[in-house]
Amino acid sequence: MQQNTQSAAVEPVSERDPVLRLSGISKSFPGVKALSDVELALYPGQVTALVGENGAGKSTLVKILTGIYQPDGGEIVIDGSPTRFPTANDAAEAGVTAIHQETVLFDELSVAENIFLGHAPRGRFGLVDWPRMNREASEILKRIGARIDPKVVLRELGIANKHLVAIARALSIEARVVVMDEPTASLSQTEIEELYDLVERLKGEGKAILFISHKFDEVFRIADRYTVFRDGEMVDAGLISETSENALVEKMVGRSVDTIFPQRQSQPGEEVLRVEGYAHPTEFADISFSLRRGEILGFYGLVGAGRSEFMQALFGVTRPSGGSVQIEGRAAEIRSPADAIHQGIVYVPEDRGRQGAITAMPIFQNVTLPSLGRTSKRGFVRMAEEFKLAREYTQRLELRAAALDQPVGELSGGNQQKVVIAKWLATKPKVIILDEPTKGIDVGSKAAVHEFMAELAREGLSVIMVSSEIPEILGMSDRVVVMREGRMVGEYPKDDLSPEALVRAAAGYGEEAA
Amino acid sequence: MSLAEGTKPRHVPDRLTGRSQRVLRSWELLLFAVAVGIFVANSLASPYFLNPWNLSDATFNFTERAMIGFAMALLIISGEIDLSVAGIIALASTAMGWALQFDVGTAGLIAIALAVGLACGAFNGALVTRFGLPSIVVTIGTMSLFRGISYIILGDQAFNGYPEGIAFLGRGYAFWVVSVQLVLFAVFAVVFGVLLHKTNFGRQIYTIGNNPTAARFSGVRVERVKFILFLLTGVMAAVAAICLTGRLGSTRPSIAYAWELEVVTMVVLGGVSILGGAGSILGVVIAALVMGLVTFGLGLLNVPGIVMSIFIGALLIGVIAIPRLIALVRLRRRA
């Protein structure tokens, strides 16, 4: 199919017809509008970079392109004719393929099997034609410059080679559109260079490439076009040659920061928490900071910068390999969450369903779990006391629920979050760590969480807020720590905060913060 | 969901459904109905069934297993399992028999059995909680290990000559037709019922079974709770070993063979989720009665043992399938 267009010489960036065009695509989830009225065009032989903050809707778009999600509205047009991808297979048949951040491969199968899974060449009686499959696999691998034996079991390959297998798999289905979702996130510098070569080769073959990345140097090196998403909307698109890093950062961040956040006059008190030289064998190193009473300290960074890993070590979930913690001037040893809670440090995790709430159990039992010592008498539960405590704290958070014995899993995301926060406030903590506190909850609940956070700080609670949303970081924090690749790369007081500086520090672009 | 969104904040009642409604929908009630059905069917099928002495005899079919079942229920609710309980019985009973030569008396023998149970439970618990091994694998291993030790010590021999006190625990009567074992069964039912349903410890067991990660993130010392549960199960297996040894009057290495599956069957039949997180002691008590009645009733009708196992197996699958079938039919009707 379309052999002649594919082999046609690659023209310089021009007004050729796009292979694939999305128009007016919208997608909502309960309580969240992930994409609204989005436009995107992908041209043969060109790389289009898609940039945007976490939560801007990039992943949702990838899932729509690959048939995993169905858009609520809008059109997918391929070669000028509207089409639909009811399943992932339909997308593959239409020539759209994706290489994900974390590749979906099978460790126990051979390289060739992974490449051809689901569309293996068949021989007589419909059995898999193994020699042909291995031959074709090795051709594809050669084409992308990978020196991998197709018969090897995938488990034996390193992460970079696994990535190449994923790319080979994408190419095995005669793809015309290749989506690369942060393909360099787990690669070393030399591997990244090889990937760039590969992208060039794919361009040469006339493929249309959608390249999703946080890293601006990358975008400017290999992309021909760009599209910027913010809060589920397409805010800008054009030719890379006609824009600049600064312009892209500004488009990404937007300018609606101070309007929606609560105004607060913070007067931080004495030091409550001091962390020095916290380190972990693999996830982070040399984290030092202090936190004062009534202060909100933001932790900004890209996904994978080690922020959550550090917070979980501070909360006692994982053991650090070095460093010390002082609480109100006294050295504290935190070896388990129970220790942390005892010391007055609590943690609201990002992954509510798995780490935060016990969704199958009633609201009141979730709230009282860490406070059972107070609601019980000599180890025996007292339901009336539990209801009393749960009522007190859920009321404060204006929880919406049918009853306090309703399972937490039946609540909306925002209300589940409120249950988790209520659980912690009931322990009367000194420091509360909120990890992506507003991720995946609707705008109204977001504002309520922000309002509440400000109120807690006003009452003297010290707050650590991990967030990947720049407006939230800027709008709420008294101070911001930026992390990149497991290390602190900067600490900014409120007055020195600018979205551009944060983005640059987090992405390692410009290097002025190092 | 829509219910949660629609209601106004602030006015959140404590409870949604009344107590009576919750009882009506419970698994325990369904199981109780099955028990009554079997009781009636048995009394119609055999004229000997309603004799109080016969009925009392029937309780020996389940009391020892049920005592282990209570501890096993806690363990399974926490998301773990112990398949070595019958092996622990063999080892504890063997230890008692071996200690007979030292003339330690009834109390000494009981102490030895309990110590062996505790040690076995600690061994299982340490392997699971310290090294993070899956309990099903660990206890399949220790199941053979414990019984294997018993075989090494005993070979084809048997220990006998247990003192009167042990025999009394195993086959004595507290008053009229009520056996000592039945009293122990009732006492342990209450103790474990209170432990699971009325204490902080019990609450933590449920949270661990439902979501060990979130439980840990909420300050529950997950490994410690699990370790204690393995200890408890080991001790209860030892209690069962004392009763069984007293009842049989001798110890052979094949004692209580394959009981682990009967105990797990009883617990699951009692409505304890094999995936953890749900179940009640009341359910296990009723399941014990059901299994005891079935075994006894079929025994009166001279049904061979293998047919009894088939019946119990069918009962288990049937009782578990019924709620699913009902749910499925409801779904179909709605569609």
Give the pLDDT of residue B139. Answer: 96
pLDDT band at A437 (very low <50, low <70, confident <90, very high): confident
Give the pLDDT of residue B86. Answer: 96
> E-strand spans in A81-152?
81-83, 96-99
Residue A407 touches chain B, beta carbons under 8 Å = no
Threshold 0.80, pTM exceeds: no
Helix axes B180-198, B52-59, angle to 10 degrees: 50
More confident residue, A401 or A278: A278
Q: How far is A306 from chain B (nearest CA, A)?
A: 18
Last residue of a domain, one of A173, A192, A225: A173
Instruction: Give yes or no: residues A332 and A472 share one domain.
Output: yes
Q: CB of A201 within 8 A of CB of A194?
A: no
Q: How does pLDDT run across A154-179, given as a tens digit for each residue?
A: 888 877 788 788 888 877 877 889 99
Give the pLDDT of residue A143. Answer: 81
Last residue of a domain, one of A173, A188, A204: A173
Residue A357 touches chain B, beta carbons under 8 Å = yes
A167 closest CA partner among A130, A209, A225: A209
Give the pLDDT of residue A443. Answer: 60
Torsion angle (degrees, nearest 10) of CA B208, B212, B217, B222: 60
Give the pLDDT of residue A260. Answer: 63
- Distances in Å between the alpha carbon of A244 and those of A181, A412, A508? 22, 41, 16
- Distances in Å between the alpha carbon of A395 and those of A374, B11, B25? 19, 8, 30
- Distances in Å between the alpha carbon of A434 and those of A125, A351, A417? 58, 11, 10
Residue A514 pLDDT exceeds 50: no
Name the percent of chain A lying above pLDDT 90. 36
Amino acid identity, residue A174? Answer: E
Measured between alpha carbons, how far is B125 from B78 in angstroms, rounded to an integer? 13
pLDDT band at A513 (very low <50, low <70, confident <90, very high): very low
Say if residue A5 is exposed, middle or buried (CB neighbours under 10 Å; 0-12, 13-18, 19+): middle
- Distances in Å between the alpha carbon of A428 and those of A437, A459, A460, A486, B10? 19, 12, 11, 30, 21
Residue A377 touches chain B, beta carbons under 8 Å = no
B1 closest CA partner among A395, A449, A443, A408: A408
Residues of A in Cβ contact (< 8 Å) with B213: 354-355
Give the pLDDT of residue A9. Answer: 43
Residue A384 touches chain B, beta carbons under 8 Å = no
A413 closest CA partner among A437, A395, A431, A432: A437
Candidates B217, B224, B273, B275: best to mutate against A (most CBs of A within 10 A) is: B217
Q: Which two tokens stand for residue A149?
A: 């034996």
pLDDT band at A30 (very low <50, low <70, confident <90, very high): low
Q: If you search the block for the tokens 């987090």, which residue do you land on?
A: A506
Give the pLDDT of residue A107. Answer: 85
Give the pLDDT of residue A2. Answer: 42
Q: CB of B179 within 8 A of CB of B187?
A: no
Residue of B nearest to A365 (CA): B203
Residues of A in Cβ contact (< 8 Å) with B277: 360
Instruction: Give yes or no: residues A462 and A413 share one domain.
Output: no
Is B15's CB within 8 Å of A423's CB?
no
pLDDT band at A205 (very low <50, low <70, confident <90, very high): confident
Candidates B200, B211, B216, B218: best to mutate against A (most CBs of A within 10 A) is: B218
Rounded (5°) CA angle B144-B225-B124: 15
Residue A5 pLDDT exceeds 60: no
More confident residue, A314 or B54: A314
B-contacting residues in A 303-332 (Cβ below 8 Å): 315, 317
Last residue of a domain, one of A411, A428, A445: A428
Is A412's CB within 8 Å of B277's CB?
no
Residues of A in Cβ contact (< 8 Å) with B3: 402, 410
Does A349 fall in a domain? no
Residue of B nearest to A338 (CA): B219
Q: CB of A229 within 8 A of CB of A33?
A: no
Q: How far is A339 from chain B (nearest CA, A)?
A: 8
Does A486 fall in a domain? yes
Measured between alpha carbons, how far is B102 from B259 in angstroms, rounded to an integer? 30
Residues of A in Cβ contact (< 8 Å) with B16: 402-403, 405-406
Q: Which two tokens stand for residue A92?
A: 């593959």
Instruction: Give yes or no: residues A188 and A54 share one domain.
Output: yes
Note down pLDDT in tens along chain B; length 335 residues: 333 444 444 577 887 766 556 666 678 888 888 889 988 988 888 888 888 888 888 888 899 999 999 999 999 999 999 999 999 999 999 999 999 999 899 999 999 999 999 999 999 999 999 999 999 999 999 999 999 999 999 988 999 999 999 999 999 998 888 999 999 999 999 999 999 999 999 999 999 999 999 999 999 999 999 999 999 999 999 999 999 999 999 999 999 998 999 999 999 989 898 889 999 999 999 999 988 888 888 888 888 878 877 887 887 788 777 777 877 887 777 65
Does B161 fall in a domain? yes
Q: Which two tokens stand for residue A179?
A: 């989506």
Q: How does pLDDT run across A95-146, given as a tens digit for each residue?
A: 888 887 666 788 889 999 988 887 788 887 888 888 899 999 998 888 877 8
Candidates A369, A393, A397, A415: best to mutate against B (most CBs of B within 10 A) is: A369
Average pLDDT, whole number, for chain A?
A: 84
User: Of A261-275, A419-433, A457-471, B93-107, where does mean pLDDT reach its minimum?
Assistant: A261-275
CATH of the domain at A58: 3.40.50.300
Measured between alpha carbons, how far is A232 from A236 in angstroms, rounded to an integer? 12
Full domain range(s) for residue A44? 3-95+175-253
Q: CB of A128 within 8 A of CB of A121?
A: yes
Does B31 fall in a domain? no
Instruction: Give yes or no: residues A205 and A86 share one domain.
Output: yes
Instruction: Report long-range pairs for A222-225 (Cβ below 8 Å, ≥24 apart).
Output: A222/A47, A222/A49, A222/A196, A223/A47, A223/A48, A223/A49, A224/A13, A224/A43, A224/A46, A224/A47, A224/A48, A225/A13, A225/A43, A225/A46, A225/A47, A225/A48, A225/A49
Does A208 fall in a domain? yes
Does A392 fall in a domain? yes
Residue of B nearest to A387 (CA): B14
Does B139 fall in a domain? yes
Is B198's CB within 8 Å of A398's CB?
no
Q: How far is B22 from chain A (nearest CA, A)?
A: 12
Give the pLDDT of residue A53. Answer: 73
B-contacting residues in A 473-502 (Cβ below 8 Å): none
As for the ipTM of the complex, it is 0.84
pLDDT band at A312 (very low <50, low <70, confident <90, very high): very high
Residue A477 pLDDT exceeds 50: yes
Q: CB of B145 within 8 A of CB of B91?
A: no
Q: How many CB pairs under 8 A join A and B?
A: 122
Coil/strand/helix, residue A41: strand
More confident residue, A355 or A53: A355
Q: How far is A142 from chain B (nearest CA, A)?
A: 43
Does A100 fall in a domain? no
Candidates A308, A346, A358, A364: best to mutate against B (most CBs of B within 10 A) is: A358
Instruction: Give yes or no: residues A169 and A179 share one domain.
Output: no
Is A387's CB within 8 Å of B207's CB?
no
Measured between alpha carbons, how far is A347 from A332 in angstroms, rounded to an integer? 17
Instruction: Give yes or no: residues A261 and A399 share one domain.
Output: no
- Nearest by CB: A360 against B202, B210, B219: B210
The two beta strands, A20-29 and A73-78, are antiparallel
Does A8 fall in a domain? yes
Does A101 fall in a domain? no
A211 closest CA partner among A177, A245, A236: A177
Full domain range(s) for residue B123? 62-281
Instruction: Give yes or no: residues A123 and A88 share one domain.
Output: no
Residues of A in Cβ contact (< 8 Å) with B8: 400
Instruction: Measure the N-to-C terminal CA separation of chain A; round to a whole number of Å.
Output: 51
Residue A394 touches chain B, beta carbons under 8 Å = yes
Instruction: Give yes or no: residues A319 and A359 share one domain.
Output: no
Q: How far is B73 from chain A (nearest CA, A)?
A: 18
Give the pLDDT of residue A328. Answer: 92
Instruction: Give yes or no: residues A115 and A242 share one domain.
Output: no
Instruction: Give yes or no: residues A339 and A413 share one domain.
Output: no
Give the pLDDT of residue B3. Answer: 37
Residue A1 pLDDT exceeds 70: no
Q: CB of A441 within 8 A of CB of A31?
A: yes
Is A400's CB within 8 Å of B8's CB?
yes
Is A369's CB within 8 Å of B218's CB?
yes
Candidates A400, A416, A421, A425: best to mutate against B (most CBs of B within 10 A) is: A400
Candidates A343, A372, A393: best to mutate against B (most CBs of B within 10 A) is: A372
A276 HSE (CA, 13 A, CB side): 9
Instruction: Give yes or no: residues A243 and A299 share one domain.
Output: no
Residue A337 touches chain B, beta carbons under 8 Å = yes
Coil/strand/helix, residue A322: strand
Instruction: Measure the N-to-C terminal CA separation of chain B; round to a whole number of Å.
Output: 20
> E-strand spans in chain B?
159-160, 173-175, 178-179, 250-251
Highest mean pLDDT among A240-244, A339-343, A402-406: A339-343
Q: How many domains does chain A have?
A: 4
- Distances in Å between the alpha carbon of A169 and those of A64, A95, A174? 19, 12, 10
Amino acid identity, residue A280? Answer: H
- Nearest by CB: A355 against B5, B201, B214: B214
Residues written for chain B:
335
pLDDT band at A273 (very low <50, low <70, confident <90, very high): very high
Residues in B whose CB is inside 8 Å of some CB of A read: 1, 3-5, 7-10, 12-16, 198-204, 206-207, 210-211, 213-221, 277-278
Measured between alpha carbons, how far is A270 from A360 in angstroms, rounded to an integer? 40
B196 closest CA partner among A357, A374, A380: A380
Q: How many domains does chain B have?
A: 1
Helix axes B63-77, B281-300, angle to 10 degrees: 150
Instruction: Give yes or no: residues A188 and A323 share one domain.
Output: no
Does B240 fall in a domain? yes
- Nearest by CB: B219 against A338, A412, A415: A338
Q: How far is B288 from chain A (nearest CA, A)?
A: 27
DSSP state, B271?
T
Does B334 fall in a domain? no
Say if residue A1 is exposed, middle or buried (CB neighbours under 10 Å; 0-12, 13-18, 19+): exposed
Measured between alpha carbons, how far is B262 from B65 in angstroms, rounded to an integer? 8
The alpha carbon of residue A268 and the mean position of all alpha carbons in its chain are separated, in whole angstroms, by: 31
DSSP state, B199?
B
